[in-house]
Each structure stands twice: as structure tokens, then as C-alpha cells.
Amino acid sequence: MWRDLLQAVIELIYPSRLQCPLCGAHRPDELLCPDCRQLLAGYAGEQVCSICGSFIGAEGGRGKLICPACLAEARPFDLARAVAPYEGPVREAVHRFKYRGMQPLARPLAKLMADAALRETAFALADALVPVPLHPRRERERGYNQSVLLACALGESLQVPVLDRALVKIRQTPSQTGLSGQKRRQNLQQSFAVAAPDLVKGKIIIIVDDVFTTGSTVSILSHLLRQAGATSVLVLTFAGTRQSVKK
């Protein structure tokens, strides 16, 4: 009874709990509205790059396909997966979550990420979740780190501990516009550090973030975690990229 009452109070404070986390449509009981459920089911059936998880477009299971970006350059992580490409209602949901203070979205988005993780056996072996750190100044401005919120909710779902102090952002990354690939990497590399190498040594780590775009940040973090002794690094994000591949 107290639980029901608490639930009613929460719904009063956060009416978003009654809305589809992706499009905001009214959703009386299930996690997603019927349209978004269908949209995500379509994405789940798409072919993805077997390394970085980029959505390739064609339906037809998850055979071994490697995208041009992964063929061109070895990735420092073993595997990355996302729930859906960063487009349409998925993109809008990320914006509401990240820039418009919709922290309660962490739980439903993490639930969808947990479902995506359960589809890949590699994720079942993970020892810990590591969120992408924000610079403390940025975190103060925003009031929260969206990756930490996702990692904590995901940790509860998957029953995996969250190491939210393993990595730190030691300086704000300078503007990357107009810089060469090497200079960008250097900038990023100098922006992060492993604060607690003992925590990651010998572990299989999942880096958790809201969006995977070029993968440059998670690549630098994967590299740092491996240097600190992590045995394997996987990446799980809510949104990912789409690539077109010539067949």
C-alpha cells in the first residue's frame, strides 16, 4: 500500500513516467508506445558492424560484417553496441535527457540498453561498468553526468558494479574544429586519466555513454583502460551511428 502511494506521488512529480521515453506520447503501462516499440524492433533486426555496432541498414540478422571505419583502423575496444542509431525520436530523447534536465529518462533508456546488452553474449562476462566522465565544471553546469545516471540504472538491471571514479576528466577538451585527426586524439588523450588503475586491472569493463558518434572518446578511454590492465573493453551506448556500406 505504501508502495502504491509512493508510486502515485512519483507520477505526480514526474509525469514523464507516464510518457513514452522516446517520443513523449501517452503510454499507460508498457515501457514504450506502440510506434516506438515497432521502431526499436526494426533497429534490433538491422545488420550492424560486428565491431563498432554501426547500423548498416539492411535487414538480415547479425552475420559478420565489418564497416569501412573499422576496416580502415583497428579499434581499441573489443565490441561496441547501441540500442538505435542517433536519429528521429532516439535523437530527441537523448537531447531531452542530456540538455533539458530530464534525468528520470535514465531508467527507461538504461532498460533499453540492458536489453541490447543481453543480445550479445560478450556483455554477460563484464565485471564492471565505467561511465564516461565529465569535467567537474561541466558537471556542475549541467547538474549531473548523463553517463553516470545511465551506468547506475544499468548496473541495477544487469547486476554489475559501477566504477564511477575509475576514470576522470582532468581538463576540458579544447575545441576540436579544424584540427587534424592526430591532434584531436592528442587533445582527447590529455583530457582523461585513469584515477583508480587497481579497480580496472584484470577486469572486463563496459564503458557506458549516451551516444557513440565517431567513437573517438571511447577509443581513448579504451586505450587508457587497457594500459591500466583491463583485460577487455566493451562499449554500450543508447544511441549509435549509421553507416552506408557498398555491397
Instruction: Using CB under 5 A, list all residues that contact Zn ion.
Output: 20, 22-23, 25, 33, 36, 49, 51-52, 54, 67, 70
Backbone angles phi, psi at 34, to 5 degrees: -55, -40
Scanning the chain, the segments in alpha helix (DSSP H) are 2-13, 34-45, 68-72, 88-99, 106-118, 136-142, 146-158, 181-189, 197-200, 216-227
Closest contact distance (angstroms) between CB of 122 and Zn ion is: 15
Based on CB atoms, which residue is closest to Zn ion, 20 or 158?
20
CA distance 114 to 154: 6
Residue closer to Zn ion by CB (options 70, 166) is 70
Would you say 33 or 211 has its CB closer to Zn ion? 33
CB 103 to Zn ion: min, Å: 19
Buried b (16+ CB within 10 A) or exposed e, 118-141: eeeeebeebbbbbbbbbbeeeeee
Report whether 243 contacts 49 (CB < 8 A).
Answer: yes
Q: Which is nearer to Zn ion, 34 or 101 (CB)?
A: 34
Q: List residues bridging with 48 in a β-sheet.
A: 55
Question: Which CB, 135 or 185, lies closer to Zn ion?
Answer: 185
Q: Which SS3 state, helix, strand or coil, does residue 23 take?
A: coil
Minimum CB separation from Zn ion for residue 226, in Å? 19
CB of 69 to Zn ion, least distance (A): 5
Q: How far is the CB of 87 from Zn ion (least distance, A)?
A: 14
